[in-house]
Structure 1
Amino acid sequence: MSKNQILEEILKEVDKHPEIMSRREALKYLTLSPLAASVIAGTTIGTSEVSASSDVKGKIVIVGGGLGGMSTAARLNNSINNADITVIEPDPLSVSYQPGQTLVAGGIWKIDDIQYNRDEFVPKGVKLIKGSVTAFDPKNNKVTVDGTQVIVYDQLIIATGVMLNYAAIKGLDGVITSNGKDNAATKNTITKDGLHSIYFQDGAVATWAGIQELVAKAKAHKGPDKLQALFTEPNTPIKCGGAPKKIMYLTHARLVEAGVRDKVELTLYPDGGKMFGVPEYHDAIVKQFEARGFKWNYKHNLVAVDTATKTATFDKWRMEKTEVEDEMGDKIVKEVKVSEPVQVKYDFMHVSPPMKAPDVVGQSELGSQGPGFVTVDKETLKSSFFPNVWSLGDVVGVPMGKTGGSVRKQYKVLVNNVISAMGGKEPTSKYDGYTVCPLITGIGTVMMAEFNWTKKPTPSFPLDPTKERWIMWLLKVYILKPMTMYGMLSGRA
């Protein structure tokens, strides 16, 4: 796709919301800004071609055909002559643009704006198996599909994504795939009566309806007490860690827009003790919360929901020092976790579910304890146990890194290292933990939080990354999707 075609795709998105930005304003920025120019250059197919120059041989199997898996397949296909690549993926919408679910939930996009068909993004020459891996046998270099079909490999890449474990919360139902497939059980409790979640597609659509219902309820509300809108963050790593706050900001914006913000109290309940792991971004978010009149309660993990009474139960916890005996009978002082249940009524609640690796991964020799993410060397992305197994994306067990921006860095490192391994060389490419969270703070503003394992801001552009900017809104809402769909999924961005 050429630069002009990319520009036109971006402007089509701009045209959908002229109240935010006109085509003329957007075009001026897109053609004059070095920031926009650099992103478009990286997106445009043909500007960063990867030439097929490697003659390494071997069968590569990729489990998972979402952004991570399909981008990796494309880049490997670009880089290896006569590549033998198989992708295993059951979901026909696996390449749908998941970062857009927040924008669907906020009423900015429609669901059709983010849905893309898997089969249209399978690279030429790459084989696709439309099934699910039901068993891993890494000692014998085999996987089993749908319980019957055995596939052998020389190199295995795991990019399954994560499971949304709503069932871990008492009163909720379902464990569903990250793309929202097979979500009927979850929809029995979530998507209605003020209880919502943007982490699956149907949930994102229902959240927008829920925000509109909250606005209508606020307009009719006459009592002295405010309506209660709660936003939760769980006690496991989650993909798009900023999403719970993004939908909170967008709910606030819609209430302000309707003139009823004073009738609703918005409160964040994170399991952790900070707004963000990077101090500079933590401080910026606290100031943003204070300016908007938000409330927050740290160290609260959602453990139960009574949908009939609209009551949320949180595990409020703290660490206390206590004297205990060690195995030798000596008394030592140790910190222990102490918790108590706290019940909160809600009129609207957004649930961010606990997340884990698919059981087939987590319960295999490849998964780790707890959530079951794939255990790898965090720099090379090679399995800690098997030299021909690799992983990336939401399922990989590295600190942070569960964003599309992380995948954009990971898949290039992984491809380089797989090719090295296939050629009998040691992997030398290293992933530095780069992660980006385009934190939507309102309709028209974004704080672009970029960082890596140093837990320091690592901005790609010469701008203060702690500031909310409309320029970053343009990047998030209009540029990143074309960069993903036409750049990353071609293996070139």
Structure 2
Amino acid sequence: MNEELKNSLEVLDRELKKQGLSRRDALKLAGLSSAAFLMNPSEADAATTVNASEAKGKIVIVGGGLAGMSTAARLTNSLSNPDITVIEPNSVSVSYQPGQTLVASGIWEKEDIVYNTEDFLPKGVKLINDKVVEFDPDNNKVVTKGGETISYDFLVIAAGLALNYGAIKGLEGVGYSSEANSEVSNKIGKNGTHSIYYADGAVNTWKGMQELISEAKSGKKLKALFTHPNTSIKCGGAPKKIMYLTNARLKEAGVRDNVEMTFYPNGGAMFGVKEYHDAIVKQFEARDMKWEYRNNLVEIDVDAKKATFENSWEEKGPWDADLEEYSVVKKSKMIERDYDFIHITPPMKAPDEIGNSAVGSEKGWVPVNKETLQHVKYANIFSLGDIAAVPMGKTGGSARKQYKVVVDNIIAAMEGKELTSKYAGYTVCPLITDIGKVMLAEFNWSKKPTPSFPLDPTQERYVWWLLKVYLLKPMTMYGMLSGKA
């Protein structure tokens, strides 16, 4: 096994032993049967043995991040004669994005989350270091920025999403999770204005957090704001995670009382699942963290440290005689707020070259059947990960379930069989609530908790901190990206 994986597991075993748990017991408790490879290689092989399909076809995968490369690995394991091409322009596309909150709070370093894409390229898979800019699904072709036309029998779109910072007046550019962007970093990462959604942004957030603590130690009364935009976002819990971790660091430094912390979500709830919403509200109240619903950041002056939010609400309107009910009138107003520290969660969208193409949709995301992940119009196209138009599916935990469905259904389609593999909407959010505490929120399209272990899922637990900090990264980097977990 990779030396890094070995070292991580040794630390995990040591920490679990303090809690009176073996690794096997912890995995069973968490319902992580697909992580058998973390026990020993022979069990991994036994757990992932499949009868290789003799089906043939040229498969092109757009996007070589976690979702795309995991799909390539599992297809390689599942086909006798695979013909797979991955098109990806970023040399660190597989970097471990869930670790960015840990980098931003000083728990990990940037080096702990950055990996070279080529190091995870499955044997026999062709990698084209370029970006697809044109889609021609009627003729089964894509065109790269470099001008190369590539044909396919089956296409997988796993290109992730774009961080649309420029949608906020006063900011510039579009960024991506694993790479800094000169336009974005021109305004973000300094002077109290931060964002964890790209790797260098996470590094700068930790610097900004330390500056906030230093100012608070001088006795100043400060304001820290945390935003959540009016678009779908990856990892819906991340805007709250960084707030919890900032709270923990301020408390650790003995200056929490000097900083007023307020969360400004665009929506009207803390979480889409009521049980988790209720738990988070109680956690916020216990930590004296404030919140104001229905506030969307629309403008910022990073030099003056002023943020403008559109605050919206509904009022009862005129009586509708036909419907025999009062109409609803939507209203809003702009509110300018000063800040000393702000964490910006940017609006997010599909990359324009995909969202505006024939394979995109009115909202930009790739429209697929939410269970089979097959394109609603083109039978030989599948999509997964952040860019797929499925409810609540923009997390690494979702991709871990989705890529197996995509592989099963591509092979079924290649063999002329019915697509029987179904994605049930499983999503998991390890919501960091403190240094040493995590609430493991698991749910699906029912919008009800779906815990895979016999514990109250609304409770913060140290064992889930161990899962988050020690287990999930090796499970992702050496499990998913090998097509086994």
Asked if Structure 1 and Structure 2 have the same fold, meaning a TM-score greater than 0.5 normalized by the shorter chain, the answer is yes
Q: Is the 8 A contact 1:323 1:331 kept in 2?
A: no
Superimposed CA distance per residue, residues 30-50 of structure 1 (whole angstroms, 9 cap, x where no aligned partner): 365333784642545424224
Q: Is the 8 A contact 1:134 1:147 kept in 2?
A: no
Q: Is the 8 A contact 1:52 1:78 kept in 2?
A: no
Superimposed CA distance per residue, residues 8-63 of structure 1 (whole angstroms, 9 cap, x where no aligned partner): 3233579xxxxxx8586279543653337846425454242243520111100000
Match in the other structure for 2:440: 448
Match in the other structure for 2:169: 170
In the superposition, relative to structure 1, how do residues 25 and 84 fare at CA in structure 2: closer, same or farther (>3 Å)?
Answer: same
What letter matches 1:355 in structure 2?
A: M
In the superposition, relative to structure 1, how do residues 72 and 232 fare at CA in structure 2: closer, same or farther (>3 Å)?
Answer: same
Indicate which of 15, 35, 44 corresponds to 2:29.
Answer: 35
TM-score (norm 1): 0.93
Summarize the alignment of residues 72-111 of structure 1 with structure 2, pairs less than 5 Å apart. 72-111=71-110
Q: Is the 8 A contact 2:350 2:365 kept in 1?
A: yes
What letter matches 2:370 in structure 1?
A: K
> Aligned partners of 1:49 and 1:27: how far apart in 2?
29
> Aligned partners of 2:423 and 2:258: how far apart in 1?
47
What letter matches 1:417 in structure 2?
A: N
Q: Is the 8 A contact 1:101 1:200 kept in 2?
A: yes
Summarize the alignment of residues 69-148 of structure 1 with structure 2, pairs less than 5 Å apart. 69-148=68-147
> Aligned partners of 2:468 and 2:356: how far apart in 1?
36
Match in the other structure for 2:382: 390
RMSD (CA atoms): 2.2
Q: Is the 8 A contact 2:99 2:113 kept in 1?
A: yes
Match in the other structure for 2:278: 283
Match in the other structure for 1:303: 298
TM-score (norm 2): 0.94
Indicate which of 456, 468, 483 corresponds to 1:464.
Answer: 456
> Aligned partners of 1:160 and 1:302: how far apart in 2?
26
Superimposed CA distance per residue, residues 405-451 of structure 1 (whole angstroms, 9 cap, x where no aligned partner): 00000001111111111111221111111000000001000000000
- 1:201 and 2:199 matched: yes
Q: Percent identity?
A: 60
Q: Is the 8 A contact 2:141 2:149 kept in 1?
A: yes
Any idea what SS the aligned residue of 2:354 has? helix
Q: Is the 8 A contact 2:16 2:22 kept in 1?
A: no
Any idea what SS the aligned residue of 1:119 has? helix
What 5-or-longer segments of structure 1 have no aligned partner? Answer: 15-20
Match in the other structure for 2:336: 343
| Residue 305 (structure 1) shift | 0.3
In the superposition, relative to structure 1, how do residues 58 and 334 fare at CA in structure 2: closer, same or farther (>3 Å)?
Answer: farther
- 1:243 and 2:235 matched: no
| Residue 332 (structure 1) shift | 8.6
In the superposition, relative to structure 1, how do residues 80 and 66 fare at CA in structure 2: closer, same or farther (>3 Å)?
Answer: same
Superimposed CA distance per residue, residues 161-191 of structure 1 (whole angstroms, 9 cap, x where no aligned partner): 000000000001110123225x111011100
Could you list the runs of 4 or more consecutive aligned residues of structure 1 that deviate by over 6 angstroms after TM superposition? 329-332
Match in the other structure for 1:408: 400
> Aligned partners of 1:471 and 1:47: how far apart in 2?
27
> Aligned partners of 2:340 and 2:314: how far apart in 1?
31
| Residue 335 (structure 1) shift | 3.0
What 5-or-longer segments of structure 2 have no aligned partner? Answer: none
Match in the other structure for 1:313: 308
> Aligned partners of 1:376 and 1:486: how far apart in 2?
28
Match in the other structure for 1:17: none
Superimposed CA distance per residue, residues 257-311 of structure 1 (whole angstroms, 9 cap, x where no aligned partner): 0000000011000000000000000000000000000000000000000112101
> Aligned partners of 2:383 and 2:263: how far apart in 1?
33
Match in the other structure for 2:67: 68
Any idea what SS the aligned residue of 2:386 has? helix
| Residue 336 (structure 1) shift | 4.0
Q: Is the 8 A contact 1:11 1:27 kept in 2?
A: no
| Residue 461 (structure 1) shift | 1.2
What letter matches 1:191 in structure 2?
A: G
Q: Is the 8 A contact 1:50 1:75 kept in 2?
A: no
In the superposition, relative to structure 1, how do residues 112 and 12 fare at CA in structure 2: closer, same or farther (>3 Å)?
Answer: farther
| Residue 383 (structure 1) shift | 0.5
Q: Is the 8 A contact 2:427 2:444 kept in 1?
A: yes
Q: How many residues align?
A: 479
| Residue 460 (structure 1) shift | 1.2
What letter matches 1:463 in structure 2?
A: L
Q: Is the 8 A contact 1:104 1:205 kept in 2?
A: yes
> Aligned partners of 1:415 and 1:390: how far apart in 2?
9
What letter matches 1:246 in structure 2?
A: K
Any idea what SS the aligned residue of 2:276 has? helix
- 1:483 and 2:475 matched: yes
Match in the other structure for 1:57: 56
Comparing 70-79 with 424-433, greater Cα deviation is found at 424-433
In the superposition, relative to structure 1, how do residues 26 and 98 fare at CA in structure 2: closer, same or farther (>3 Å)?
Answer: farther
Any idea what SS the aligned residue of 1:439 has? strand
Match in the other structure for 2:227: 232
> Aligned partners of 2:463 and 2:122: how far apart in 1?
33
Any idea what SS the aligned residue of 1:185 has? helix
Q: Is the 8 A contact 1:11 1:23 kept in 2?
A: no
Any idea what SS the aligned residue of 1:381 has? coil
Match in the other structure for 1:379: 371
> Aligned partners of 1:461 and 1:291: how far apart in 2?
26
| Residue 471 (structure 1) shift | 0.2
> Aligned partners of 1:468 and 1:227: how far apart in 2?
28
Summarize the alignment of residues 236-275 of structure 1 with structure 2, pairs less than 5 Å apart. 236-275=231-270
Indicate which of 351, 359, 366 corresponds to 2:359.
Answer: 366
Superimposed CA distance per residue, residues 437-492 of structure 1 (whole angstroms, 9 cap, x where no aligned partner): 00000100000000000000011111111000000000011000000011100001
> Aligned partners of 1:378 and 1:23: how far apart in 2?
37
Match in the other structure for 1:356: 349
> Aligned partners of 1:407 and 1:310: how far apart in 2?
37
> Aligned partners of 1:335 and 1:205: how far apart in 2?
45
Any idea what SS the aligned residue of 1:177 has? coil
> Aligned partners of 2:153 and 2:24: how far apart in 1?
46
